[in-house]
Structure formats: structure tokens, C-alpha cells
């Protein structure tokens, strides 16, 4: 939900080299049916956490939908899912 400028700060501080996209209007979040209305701090709309691995054909090959916002997909899990795609 952050604006691009906020994401730029985050990417610089954390040293992210992957593509970091901003969805301040929750366009993609809504399209993926992940909106948590008023779920964020201060009652803002926010995304529910979710991870998808999409192959070249645009097909979803792996997903992770946590039940707890503090628990996310682990890097090793995502790497294994990616390695399973050829």
C-alpha cells in the first residue's frame, strides 16, 4: 500500500535488489482478492500476506497463504518451489 517513494526508502535501507512495486490504491491487492479492509494500523485498508510463484505461462505454481500475519513463507520454502520449476 506504500507509495513508490516510501518503497524506495525501504529498498535502499534493506538493500533490496528485486523489483519492488507500490500498490497505494490496492489495485493488484483487490485483483488477487487479498484485501483486508481496515486491517492496517490506523484502520487503513491493507493486504493480507500472500506469496505466489508464477511460471512463464502466467500460471500459479505455488502459493502460501499464512493464517498469522507474523508467520511468512520462509526463503528456503520459496527457493524449493522455484527449483521445482524447469
Geometric angle at alpha carbon 23, from 67 and 16, rounded to 5°:
80
Nearest distance in Å: CB 38, other proteins:
11
Closest among 67, 52, 62 to 85, alpha carbons compared: 62
The grid coordinates listed for 71 are 508467520
Which residues bind to other proteins, rule: CB under 8 A? Answer: 4, 7-8, 10-11, 14, 17-23, 27-29, 31-36, 39-40, 46-56, 58-63, 65, 67-74, 78, 82, 85-86
Instruction: Between 42 and 62, name the residue whose CB sits nearer to other proteins.
Output: 62
Rounded Cα distance between 50 and 35, Å, is: 11
Instruction: Between 43 and 60, name the residue whose CB sits nearer to other proteins.
Output: 60
Amino acid at each position: 500500500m506504500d507509495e513508490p517513494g516510501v518503497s524506495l526508502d525501504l529498498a535502499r535501507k534493506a538493500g533490496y535488489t528485486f523489483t519492488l512495486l507500490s500498490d497505494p490504491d490496492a489495485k493488484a491487492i483487490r485483483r488477487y482478492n487479498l484485501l483486508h479492509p481496515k486491517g492496517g494500523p490506523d484502520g487503513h485498508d491493507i493486504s493480507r500476506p500472500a506469496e505466489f510463484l508464477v511460471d512463464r505461462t502466467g500460471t500459479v505454481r505455488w502459493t502460501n497463504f499464512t493464517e498469522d500475519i507474523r508467520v511468512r513463507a520462509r526463503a528456503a520454502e520459496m527457493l524449493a518451489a522455484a527449483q521445482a520449476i524447469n
